[in-house]
Structure 1
């Protein structure tokens, strides 16, 4: 047993928390849209064909802004295909995921779904096979209130008022060889700058996200960000980060160090952005949109991916349907802690994705919807996180990571608001429990522990499945209490916990 001493001081503030940190991501991929959020024949389907059981789970998850419609999908997408009468919409081949897109769900339908789940829209434009003109057409259609041919068309399609989309992504992963229309940093930076300038002429109120590297392991990482920002620094508000993590070769301890990689990723992008600012002698600070992050067993998908023939283009095939276990959820919770620890520069983040595709929510056609293990850290953190992120100094020793060297056994962050404080903490040790002793005396008066949540399983590979959808859940932290202005609790190995004091 390791005794961990720490302190929460409300004056040790990181930043105010932008609620867009708890965003999500919906892509036209696999069974995410069709048979996921949209299944007209399902017993819970509403009048528009959306599954009400999924809507309730997305509400419970607490996602703020949802990025749409991709992802790789957007780099070949014609947004016009998804508007107008459904029986007149064209079926298209989606080269990104080798599938057929029916276009039965488009901008209007997706906005209607967002209204039901209580989330805001974040739109990505196609800078792969299209460019500035297509982006301007979509922006005019979505945001303009002046009467034009585009806005008349929007009204005829049932939305007289503008969608008023605030955040816009200038393409997706444009450094990736897999991306339709991928290009080098110089060419992309010029295109993104031209597009951003045009979009701001049309709607100066929007916020723009330029593509950063599609992963920290990309050979051009760092130099890509620098070159792209040299072209777009004055035109954009955010640069994107994408990162996915998985356990490799059964090494759970190394997997539990994943958040260290995320932290270094963030710090590197911040340093690069601030270098460009320094060169330009600018006080402007580019923020980060970590608009794709998750645990994703990409290597399994690459091994098991179905090779379709030249005439096989299925509709909504089962793709990227990872089954998450307890260990995944603990790492996932640690990634959320890391995002909060960087709330001063990470002002938006999108969990990729929401339903069926590497998702916290799973569905069965004609059957149930259920929560995966990763659902719980997200829903609880989103609900309990207060107004401001605060550092938590803890000392619980370290373990040695082959990739990162000495890594802290315990990682934690707190948030504060007028009513109290929330603490989020993870025990990364695979062998030792931790006795937490967190000093909260700086808050003055008496704080009471009003709720606690623990995610831990003796079987680290326990998962929620169609056959056993409630195998893994959260429970209160037994014995946790506030005494003598200190929170005391015991966390078992490989565990994530959240506490609310008020």
Structure 2
């Protein structure tokens, strides 16, 4: 399979917002308890946070993290998670039918995020919550002192305010499953009034309004139009969510869902442009794709469990064993976010630990990196800078969800400060090696600086506690720069990260 491609220094799409590589963690399953927090674990620090998990998190260089939900937030009272731990109430979490001990709240999570070097993107409850509760929460978290709520925070041992300026106005409010579900205009009005109140506390706050929970919702994309017409002038981003599966084991159709996601982004960008034009506004609302991941391996069994079990505490839930096929998919989806970085400014993998996550743990035992950890890490480490358009000429295929899907998937990022171009390449073909010939225009003297590859694995192969690095990037070979062109042979079903010094 011959692939001709062109990379031009001046064909810039956008400067990527670092927050494209953010993450999400919810009070759900073992994401918090037994995930990031396990007092008594051999690696736990003085605050009860697992050191092995912390190191894996730090290695990802995550810029921001969304917390505490998720469906959980729509019935959550943030005051339950502050103050003396022995006086915090145990509550029933309606979203995941489990008990919440509230041993981790905003101050504990803030300390974890600070240690991990991650900015917080906090969600307020607009399901059962109110504008007033949201306003009080923001004041508690961010105001220096001298008021009731800020002084209450100080009395809880957190003298300094948390440096938070990203706020999610509820979660998946279009979903009938959501506690406090609302109609579009109803939610848009509440979001608008809440946004105005939060801006009264922090005029620089970045506010994220709920878009569709996925592009198969019956209200999509009308939901986005109605919501934005109510609150466009007071919000900065609209959120999108989408999860992916391959229950039919049709690999090429699975990969085609990445193209489907591109159409989802394009459609909502069009809705944003329509509302902006209708309002004669100079403001450009961005897209925050703040929940995305593969989720299907044990979804059916989990749904049976959480609808029937008797309110357990931190149960094992959504603990997907990701395989090599999932890693190739995640690599391709990150490529799509890079290509759409002019509209998608923030994105968050859902979730970070144990719950549909790149990091897994055993209670009292080891932590390990799942297969999807690696493409996520590669993109986060090397995908910062200017996204460049790559012209690719090669064979395509049709599938159920998309047409003209390229077998060769390439995104490119130029980091001018480092003097590096990074190419993220996925050969989606099931059987054919790709012979790549890419012209490098405007990059005279380019030389190969790094080549990492994930290839040669069975699509169903996974990592495990016993074989934590069975699937991980290795040094690649057979790729190089000749006469201003990047050339090489790329095996079928392989993922490559190629870095060029320019």
TM range (shorter): over 0.9
Once residues 236 and 387 of structure 1 are traced to their aligned partners in structure 2, the CA distance between those partners, rounded to angstroms, is 26
Could you say which residue in structure 1 is the equivalent of 2:466?
A: 467
Contact 1:121–1:165, Cα closer than 8 Å, also in 2:
yes
Partner deviation per Cα, 1:442-488 (whole Å, 9 max, x = no partner) = 212x1111111112234111100123222111112221111111111
Of 231-240 and 409-418, the range deviating more from structure 2: 409-418
Structure 1 residues 252-291: aligned runs within 5 Å: 252-291=251-290
SS of the residue corresponding to residue 424 of structure 1 reads strand
CA distance in 2, matches of 1:431, 1:40: 48
- Matching residue of 2:420: 420
Matches for 1:401-412 after TM superposition, within 5 Å? 401-412=399-410
Give the corresponding residue for 1:208.
207
Bigger drift between 308-317 and 477-486 goes to 308-317
Is the Cα–Cα contact under 8 Å of residues 20 and 64 in structure 1 kept in the other structure?
A: yes
CA contact (8 A) 1:322 1:357 kept: yes
Residue 24 of structure 2 aligns with which residue? 25
Structure 2 CA distance for aligned equivalents of residues 4 and 388 of structure 1: 24
Distance 1:368 1:400 in 2: 42
Counterpart CA distance in 2 for 1:473 and 1:63 is 19
**Does 2:342 match 1:344?**
yes
Matches within 5 A, 1:52-71: 52-71=51-70
Structure 2 counterpart of 1:101 = 100
Deviation at residue 248 of structure 1 after TM alignment:
2.7
Contact 1:477 / 1:490 at 8 angstroms: preserved in 2? Answer: no
1:317 counterpart = 2:315: yes
Q: TM-score, normalised by structure 2?
A: 0.97
Question: After the TM superposition, which parts of structure 1 deviate over 3 Å for at least 4 consecutive aligned residues?
Answer: 303-311
1:64-114 CA distances to partner (integer Å, 9 max, x unpaired)?
A: 100000000000100011111111111000000000000000101101111
What's the offset of the Cα at 1:283? 2.5
Matched with 2:219 is 220
Deviation at 1:157?
1.3
User: Partner of 2:270: helix, strand, or coil?
Assistant: helix
1:140 and 2:127 aligned: no
Measure, in 2, the Cα distance between the counterparts of 1:127 and 1:395: 48
Contact 2:257 2:402 in 1 (8 A): no
User: For residues 142-166 of structure 1, what are the alpha-carbon distances to aligned partners after superposition, in whole Å with 9 as ceiling and x for unaligned?
Assistant: 1112510111111111222221211
- Structure 2 stretches lacking a partner, 5+ long: none
Conserved 8 A contact 1:386-1:422: no
Provide the alpha-carbon RMSD of the alignment.
Answer: 1.3
Indicate conservation of the 8 Å contact 1:427/1:493, yes or no. yes
Distance 2:50 2:165 in 1: 27
Partners in 2 of 1:458 and 1:432 — Cα distance?
A: 15
Residue 438 in 1 paired to residue 432 in 2? no
Q: Indicate the SS of the match to 2:192.
A: helix
Residue pair 2:97, 2:309 contacting (<8 A) in 1 also: no
Equivalent pair of 2:457/2:471 in contact (CA under 8 Å): no
* CA deviation string 1:377-422 (max 9, x = no partner): 0111111123111111111210111221221111211111221211
Matched pairs, number: 499
CA distance in 2, matches of 1:374, 1:492: 19
Describe the superposition over 1:267-325 as per-residue Cα deviations: whole angstroms up to 9, x where unpaired: 00000010011111222211000000111117x31344344688821110000001100
Identify the range of structure 1 (483-492 vs 168-177) with the bigger mean alpha-carbon deviation.
483-492
TM-score (norm 1): 0.97
Match of 2:79 in 1: 80
1:262 match: secondary structure: helix
Q: Which is worse superposed, 50-59 or 256-265?
A: 256-265
Contact 1:398 1:408 in 2 (8 A): yes
User: Does the 8 Å contact 1:254/1:402 carry over to 2?
Assistant: yes
Is the CA contact 1:386–1:421 (under 8 Å) kept in the aligned structure 2? Answer: no
Does residue 14 of structure 1 match 2:13?
A: yes
In 1, the alpha carbon distance for the partners of 2:455 and 2:243 equals 22
**Unaligned runs of at least 5 residues, structure 1:** none
TM-superposed CA distance for 1:354, in Å, is 0.5
Aligned to 1:385: 383
CA spacing shift, 1:18–1:473, aligned 2, 3 Å: same
Partner residue of 1:371? 369
Q: Which moved more, 1:217-226 or 1:406-415?
A: 406-415
Q: Residue 324 of structure 1 contacts residue 372 of structure 1 at CA under 8 Å; is this kept in 2?
A: yes
Mapped to 2, the partners of 1:218 and 1:38 lie a distance apart of 35
Query: How far apart in 1 are the matches of 2:222 and 2:59?
Result: 40
* SS, match of residue 440 in structure 1: strand
Instruction: Write the deviation string for residues 350-384 of structure 1: whole angstroms up to 9, x where unpaired.
Output: 11000000000000111111010000001111111
How far does the alpha carbon of each residue in 1:18-65 deviate from its partner, in whole angstroms, 9 at most, with x for none?
111110001000000001111111100111110000000001122110
Q: 1:58·1:117 contact (CA, 8 Å) conserved in 2?
A: yes
Task: Tell me the equivalent position of 1:493.
Answer: 492
Look up the SS of the partner of 2:234 in the other structure. Answer: coil
